[in-house]
Amino acid sequence: MKQPLPAWFKDHWFLGAGAAILLVLSATVTAHVLLWASIPYRGHGAAFSIIEIPEGTGAARAVEILVEHGIVQRSPLALLYLRLTGRTRGVKAGEYYFTRPMTPGEVFDKIISGDVYYHRVTIPEGARSDEIFAEFIRAGFGSEAEYRDLFRDVSLIADLDPEATDLEGYLHPDTYTLQKGARPKAIVAMMVARFREVFEPTWIERVKQRGLGVREAVTLASMIEWETAHPDENPLVASVFYNRLRLGMRLQCDPTVIYALAMRNAFDGNIRKDDLKIDSRYNTYMYSGLPPGPIGNPGAAALQAAVEPAETQYLYFVSMNTGRHYFSTNLKDHNRAVFEYQVKPFRQRKGAAPRSRGRGN
C-alpha cells in the first residue's frame, strides 16, 4: 500500500511549480516586449516629424505624445518596456526630429539621451545687426524689442571697445545651432563670444602698431567685407584703405553711404549720385577718415585682412563685372580701367554708363 506524500513535500512541489510557471510567463512576456520594441514603426504620413516633449514630462505622457504623432504604435507594452529597461525616469525635454521608421527602443533611446533637434540659423558675412536679429526672429527666437534692448547693452565688449554704443560689428556671422526656447540674451552672448574667438588677442597689438584700435579695425573690416566677394581680394582692398588713410585721401566707400541711408530707412536697393551728398559721418565721400563705427558684422577673412593688409601702393580699385576687381596705383590707370570695365561694356549694350564703384570717382 502506497504511503501518502508528506505535506511539506506537497507544499514545496506547488511552490516550485508555481515559480516555474511564473518564470516561464515572465520570460514569455519579456520576450514579447523586447520583440515589440525591435519592430520599426512610422504612423505619420509626412517625410519627417518634429515633436516637442515639454519640460517636466513624465514617461507616461511622453509615450502618449509619441503615439499621438505616430512615432510609436499605441500599446500597453510601451510603459512595460520602459520599466523592464529601467528608463521610466530621465525623459529629456526638447524637440525631436524623426525622418524614418524607428523601433520603440530607438525612439526611447533618443528621448532618454536627449538627442534633441537643433535649429540652424545662418548669418551671412557683413549683415547689419537689424538683419541678423530679423533672421533669429523669423526662426522663432525672441522679439524685436528684446534684441533692440540687447543691442544697446555693450557690457560684453566694453573692454575691447570702450567707445561702443551698440554691438554693431561684434555679432559674428556664422551658422548657429539652437534648441527651441533659446533666449535672445544667450544668442547675442554666443555671437559676441564667437567674435572674441576669431579676433585673436595678438591682433589687438598688431592693429595698435598700425595706429588703430579694435573699433577702427572692425570698422575697416566691415567695409572690406562689402567691397568684394572674394576673400583673396580682402588684403588688397584693405591695402587701398590703409594707403588712403595714410595719405589723407577720402575712402569713398559706397557701402558706408548705403549704411547711412539704411539707418534712416532711406535705402531702396539702389545708390544714386544725390545719395553721395547725404550729411552723415558714415558718408566717406563727404568726410575723411573711417566712419564712426562698423557698418555691418564682418567675417573672419575680412577681420584678418584689416589686421594683415597686403603691402601695396594701390589707391584705387574698380569692378571688372566678373566678381573681381582691377587695382591701380594712380588715377590715370584707374580711369582707364573704369572705361574698360564699366563704361565700354554698357555703351556696347546701348545702356548708360553707371558710376563706377571703384575708389577715386
Query: Rounded to an integer, what distance in angstroms lies between the CA atom of residue 179 and that of residue 96?
Result: 10
Contact 72, 66 (CB under 8 A): yes
Cell of 141: 527666437
Query: Rounded to an integer, what distance in angstroms lies between the CA atom of residue 144 and that of residue 135?
Result: 11
Per-residue pLDDT, 36: 76
Of the candidates 135, 134, 145, the one whose C-alpha atom is nearest the C-alpha of residue 175 is 135
Run of H or E including 177 = strand 175-178
| Domains of the chain from N-terminus onward | 49-113 (3.30.1490.480), 129-314 (no CATH)
Per-residue pLDDT, 2: 55
Contact 291, 219 (CB under 8 A): yes
| DSSP states along 162-230 | TT-SS-TT-S---EEEE-TT--HHHHHHHHHHHHHHHS-HHHHHHHHHTT--HHHHHHHHHHHHHH-S-
Per-residue pLDDT, 43: 84
Per-residue pLDDT, 361: 44
Cell of 34: 523586447
List of the chain residues with pLDDT < 50: 9-10, 13, 352-353, 355-357, 360-361
Cell of 78: 510601451
Residues in the chain, how many? Answer: 361
User: What angle do the packed helices 77-84 and 7-36 form, to 10 degrees?
Assistant: 110
CA dist 126 → 45, 224, 232, 265 (Å): 41, 9, 16, 18
Number of Cβ atoms within 10 Å of the Cβ of 118 = 14
Q: Which position has the grid cell 540674451?
A: 185
